[in-house]
Chain A
Amino acid sequence: MHDHNNIRLPEGSIEKETTTLNLGPTHPATHGVFQNILELDGERIIKADSTVGYIHRAFEKIAERRPYYQITPLTDRLNYCSSPINNMGWHLTCEKLLGVKTPKRVDYLRIIIMELARISDHLICNSIVGVDTGAYTGFLYVMQYRELIYEIYEEVCGSRLTTNIGRIGGFERNFTNTAFQKLEKFLKEYPGVLREFENLFTRNRIFVERTKGVGGISAERALNYGFTGPNLRAAGVDYDVRVHSPYSSYEDIDFIIPIGTTGDNYDRYQVRNAEMWESLKIIEQAYRKVQEFKGAESEVFHADVPAYYLPEKSDVYTKMEALIYHFKIVMGETEIPPGELYNSVEGGNGELGFYLISDGGRAPYRLHFRRPCFVYYQAFPELVTGGMLSDAIVTMSSLNLIAGEMDG
């Protein structure tokens, strides 16, 4: 018989009635790296304690070193499922600081790209909620159409996921005919796919039972916790930055804001689904408006600000002013007005804010990202205590927690 005198249990662990479970940073259910230490009584959660920071990349400190146009690749990596929205948000902030006004065609093209990114983000979220309730097929069907969106990004900027799309003042090149053809193909084929995806989930008995009444939050608590985006709209508050402080000519486009009632997982799924239909409508309207520009106007893809937008290389080699502007922009001698401003856009998860303090130098003095995921993840213990462990998994994925945005 072996001697077990060397085994020591922690103090009080024999008398304890609850189990401590570490839903650790690496887990198939946590889509992203964040940790939850749960106290369980059987299957019921008594207490939840979250730890984040497993992918803290110090974006704010890096930004104090980089000139304004080099911060765009950093913003890509915030909410990487919908990186064009982050890029455009940063460009809009810089344009507000520098006083640059973009032409209408650029605004409509930006709207098309941002709404494609929003569809791509909500697709991942909804299909992952399906995967967590056991339905893997929806995810595979829908990834095929995310490939189409990636192909459109590739035509415009060359890269699939971390796009670094656009420049301060517009885009780096005009949209080619291939890009528009791919966009038309997407607009034609995607509604059918979305309807098929909806049919799989919306009235599916198993999905409804797993998600209805789970992880709900009331509107006042949601506002107190700083929820924004689809999570807040599912709780019943119709706050959308695109409508409240319109940017990039969203005021010319006609769309509704879908809201839910109880703020539970099913409402979040429904709100994201409805937002995808609205995004399709927005893209169609913006595309029609872009096609109305004829002749010379249809070649406009950036604002006329040579002080901040790099001139054409052929001009740099032949004209003196273009050469000087090129030199000044690259070497950081352009006049950046000192000031502080806060600008926000409607990201895939809510209000993505940029608080920028400029002291007139080449790099910002202080740049702070107001990241929606970080703010609303604080409410997670309140959403899951009292529920079952498997409900916590579904709540975690329906909140659309992107670790890159949460830690930043």
Chain B
Amino acid sequence: MARPVRFNIKQKDTSDWGINIASAPQGHMGEGFFATSLDKVVGLARKNSIWPLPFATSCCGIEFMATMGSHYDLARFGSERVGFSPRQCDLLMVMGTIAKKMGPVVKQVYLQMAEPRWVLAVGACASSGGIFDTYSVLQGIDQVVPVDVYVPGCPPRPEAIIDGVLKIQELVHNESLRRRNSDKYKLLLESYGIQ
């Protein structure tokens, strides 16, 4: 005979916890099924399970470590598993100054990622060179890879980094399934010299 449950059985009153259930996408509900368009389901699934690749080079990397910590948890947005292999990741988060010596490395890592892939430039140095307007610093990673979201700050607060990830999630949610094969996207990649 199964043992009765002894703990955590009192019903909790969650009315004032501020929990919002997200609304389901538009679709047709029936007995045991829910029909909606494919890109809405795919967008919803992709946005809540982004696997980021933290390309941390300098000070913004330490703020990223604080964002992944328990105080400003990034894992609650689905980015629990950070990977370091570009073959397995969706989001390239470039955090920190990229020097000219490092530019080809960023490009190589970007090329190794599989579509669909997004790029988040965290910090002033990755967005535009930051305070280092010198002969050795790449003035923004958009000189070598196409960037989706820029997070300004030197270094940006963890809340700002989370805001950047949330904006990426919006982009992921609303992306059409055909975007990566469209002519406009191909033109964008060609302007960076990527086939």
Residues of A within 8 A of B (CB): 24-28, 32-33, 53-58, 61-62, 73-74, 76-77, 80-81, 124, 140, 143-144, 146-147, 150, 160-162, 403-404, 407
**Which range holds the interface residue count of chain B?**
20 to 34
Q: Which of B104-144 contact A (CB under 8 A)?
A: 105, 109, 131-132, 134-137
Taking A80-B59, A80-B62 as known contacts, 19 extra A-B pairs with beta carbons closer than 8 A to each other, sorted by chain A number, are A26-B105, A32-B57, A55-B57, A55-B98, A56-B99, A56-B101, A57-B134, A58-B132, A58-B135, A62-B132, A62-B134, A76-B59, A124-B65, A140-B69, A143-B69, A143-B71, A144-B69, A161-B155, A403-B58
Cβ of B84 under 8 Å from chain A: yes
Contacts of B132 in A (CB 8 A): 57-58, 62
Contacts of B154 in A (CB 8 A): 162
Cβ of B97 under 8 Å from chain A: yes
- Nearest 8 interchain pairs by C-beta: A143-B69, A28-B84, A80-B59, A58-B134, A54-B102, A57-B132, A404-B58, A147-B71
A161 touches B134 (CB 8 A): no
Complex Cα–Cα for A58 and B99 (A):
10
Cβ of B157 under 8 Å from chain A: yes
Contacts of A56 in B (CB 8 A): 99, 101, 136
A73 touches B131 (CB 8 A): yes
Contacts of B8 in A (CB 8 A): none
Complex Cα–Cα for A332 and B99 (A):
31
Cβ of B66 under 8 Å from chain A: yes
Contacts of B131 in A (CB 8 A): 73-74
Q: Which of B69-83 contact A (CB under 8 A)?
A: 69-71
Contacts of B59 in A (CB 8 A): 76-77, 80, 161-162, 404
Cβ of B96 under 8 Å from chain A: yes
Complex Cα–Cα for A195 and B102 (A):
40
Complex Cα–Cα for A54 and B62 (A):
17
A150 touches B66 (CB 8 A): yes
The answer, among A28, A57, A81, for a CB contact under 8 Å with B62, is A81
Interchain Cβ contacts under 8 Å between A and B, 29 examples? A26-B105, A32-B57, A33-B102, A53-B99, A54-B57, A54-B99, A54-B102, A54-B105, A55-B58, A56-B99, A57-B97, A57-B132, A57-B134, A58-B132, A58-B136, A61-B134, A77-B58, A124-B65, A143-B66, A143-B69, A144-B71, A147-B69, A150-B66, A160-B63, A160-B157, A161-B62, A162-B59, A162-B155, A404-B59
B102 — nearest CB in chain A belongs to which residue?
A: A54
Take A32-B57, A61-B134 as given contacts and tell me if A143 and B99 are in contact as well, using a CB distance cutoff of 8 Å.
no
Contacts of B63 in A (CB 8 A): 160-161
User: Nearest-CB distance from B161 to chain A (Å)?
Assistant: 12
B155 touches A57 (CB 8 A): no
Complex Cα–Cα for A140 and B132 (A):
32
B83 — nearest CB in chain A belongs to which residue?
A: A28
Contacts of B58 in A (CB 8 A): 32, 55, 77, 80, 403-404
